[in-house]
Amino acid sequence: MAFLPPSREYSRLSTHQIGSTAEKRQGFESILGAEKAKQLEQLVEERSLARLEGNYLHADMIRDQISSLDLPDNWEVVVTDVPRKQGGGSTWELVQTKQEMPILEGPTVLQLAHAALGLAVECSVQANLGRAHTALGMQQQTSHKENEGNEQLDFIVEQAKARFQHTNWTDAELAGRKAADAAFWFALAGVTDQFIFENLTDVATRELGRFGSRSSCRAKDIYQIMERFSAAGFQNTDRLEEAAKKALIAKGDTDDCDPLLDFHSDRSLLLIWKFSTKQKKQRAFLRSALTHWQRQKGDGEEEESGDSELTKTDDMDIGEAQIQEYNWNGMFKDPSRPLVIDVGCGMGVSLLGLASGNSQVSSQVLLGENSSSLSWKDCNFVGLDLGALGIGYARGLAFRRGIDDRLQFVVDSAESCLQSLVRSYPGPIKLCLIQFPTPYSLKTTPGTGNTQLPSSPRDGFMVTEELLHLVHQALSKSDGKLLLQSNCEDVAVYMHDLAIEKVGFQVEAADQSMSETTCASYGYTSSTPRVPQRMADWITMGGKRAVGDDWSKAPILHRASATETEVACALNGTPVHRCVLRAVGDQI
């Protein structure tokens, strides 16, 4: 789907210019081929239905799918949305362009960003399958595959950089929200080349100046552009911020005085949360990116990728995998610094906030320093997760922020990484975070429960007694602390009791004095939080409640280090159950 660039002439083949349905279909098929024409019709019909139902997020995703379709040279698809008061729906037409400038061959920047994301998805799936094969004793040439993936990503980036040499073309092909989409997709793919992101910023700034004040550009469109740039890790981009605010003021939208470019803003984190939780629509989008990449490779390796590859491999039980050895001197500028670990870090949001911030309140509570001499700025950070896609995204942001000499993300099992830390990390390990692990299925009656989740706390759930013993061993030398958080009350109680009764952690009494101000910074209201169905079921079953001095009613981490899940819970009024434990002396 295309916005029409300036200085071009068009001849249109549209639904309105062809008489009968048969003639229309024949005209489209003669240009696109029968299969591609049918695919386009189906996508536009699906988009029409989504808009009719008010599901505009899904409609936008379909628009992105249409944008990434490969079309014959000099042909573009233009989709026109009909207002609901005029019957709703969408129509599409083929537009043939007659260029006044030489044709810029090859995929557009947006298509390259989509392909880069597809490559990242493919590498993530292969990495997880490779670990499973290694655990089973099957030899895998993982390093070769990783190098091949890096080379392919570099090639995609170089293609995009070459297109930016033609400003007129990139401005035209990245009109509307496309520059913002490309920025977010490149960031998700782990791209670190600053040239790409600076040029996307320039394109979006010019585009907002061009159409931002027009009636066809809604305030919602501007906010969506800025939330995507924020989620892509953009900071201190004054010219883009100013262009967006100017456009919003022109529309009379002056209520929100907060910065529009803020990685840790509600809008940005909600967008990241949708990808980190791999909701149905985001899974479909990732599958489409993977398919696009495999088709672009043209090497005959395209495979069907169902939900299982995109959802289960990140949390799969890979058995007794080999323990990785880490070169701490190569990873950190000063490996003697105190270390903070995030087990199951997902997209890395929490550690990116901790490594960039300096909240004295949260550091006093969690780093265990009464003298306030130790702050987050004094620490190193390691985030570990089995999801290579999220780790690649987090690594890219850490590199672009210039904090990768203190903040590292690794694709590894929790047990493997913790054993390496205990054995060889030179400095003290002060804090471990276990935040919102994928819950197990809560079976209220036999045969019920979510089959996509681990079946029970003892079968597939990340937090095991073995894991907590390793955490205790890592923390006990420095009387370090463990922060546990979950939005499932039964999960929080299970982790709390397992850590105390089986492993030997001691409770740190929660400080309730900071509840009001901290809750306000997260967006919690004073009204009674809603009770999710799982929590209601747990209460009905007579389950142990997460209440009392062990449990903090307020967020413990400062707002800029909150995970995307915690912010989503705050905005939805979902309770979060938190406790801080200390590892002292020998284990039980």
Nearest 5°: the CA angle 331, 337, 338 is 110
Q: Predicted confidence band at 73 (pLDDT cuts at 50, 70, 90)?
A: confident
Q: Is the pLDDT of residue 361 over 70?
A: yes
Burial of 234 (0-12, 13-18, 19+ CB in 10 A): buried
32-36, 80-84, 302-306, 549-553: least confidently modelled range:
302-306
Q: Predicted confidence band at 32 (pLDDT cuts at 50, 70, 90)?
A: confident
- Both tokens of 241, joined, read 């911020």
Question: What pLDDT does residue 198 have?
Answer: 94
Question: What pLDDT does residue 67 have?
Answer: 78
Contact call for residues 177 and 228 (beta carbons, < 8 A)? yes
Question: What pLDDT does residue 519 have?
Answer: 59
Q: Is the pLDDT of residue 297 over 70?
A: yes
Helix 564-572 crosses helix 515-522 at what angle (to 10 degrees)? 100
273-282, 390-399, 424-433, 548-557: least confidently modelled range:
273-282
Q: Is the pTM of this model over 0.85?
A: no
pLDDT, tens only, 44-72 = 888 888 888 878 778 888 887 887 787 77
Contacts of residues 132-139 at CB distance under 8 Å and 24 or more positions apart, as own/partner, are 132/313, 132/316, 132/318, 134/318, 134/321, 134/322, 135/318, 135/319, 135/320, 135/321, 136/319
Amino acid at 148: E
Going from the C-alpha of 288 to that of each of 62, 310, 498, the distances in angstroms are 10, 12, 41
Question: What pLDDT does residue 279 have?
Answer: 58
- Stated as kind and residue range, the H or E segment containing 578 is strand 577-582
Which residue is listed with tokens 């801080």? 580
Query: Closest Cα partner for 376 from 427, 431, 425, 433?
Result: 431
Residues contacting residue 206 through CB under 8 Å, at least 6 positions apart:
171
pLDDT, tens only, 180-189 = 999 999 999 9
**Domains in the chain, please, with CATH?**
8-99 (no CATH), 109-283 (no CATH), 323-582 (3.40.50.150)
Question: What pLDDT does residue 72 have?
Answer: 78
Question: What pLDDT does residue 106 have?
Answer: 83
pLDDT, tens only, 470-504 = 999 999 888 899 999 999 999 999 999 999 999 99
Q: Give percent of the chain above pLDDT 90.
A: 48
Nearest 5°: the CA angle 121, 569, 493 is 95
Residues in the chain: 588
Nearest 5°: the CA angle 351, 267, 579 is 45
For residue 10, list its beta bridge partners: 97
| Section 368-391 average pLDDT | 86
Contact call for residues 478 and 484 (beta carbons, < 8 A)? no
Q: Is the pLDDT of residue 243 over 60?
A: yes
Query: Closest Cα partner for 444 from 486, 490, 497?
Result: 490
Q: Is the pLDDT of residue 385 over 70?
A: yes
Side-chain-side CA neighbours of residue 369 (13 Å): 17
Q: Is 491 helix (H, G, I), strand (E, B) or coil?
A: helix
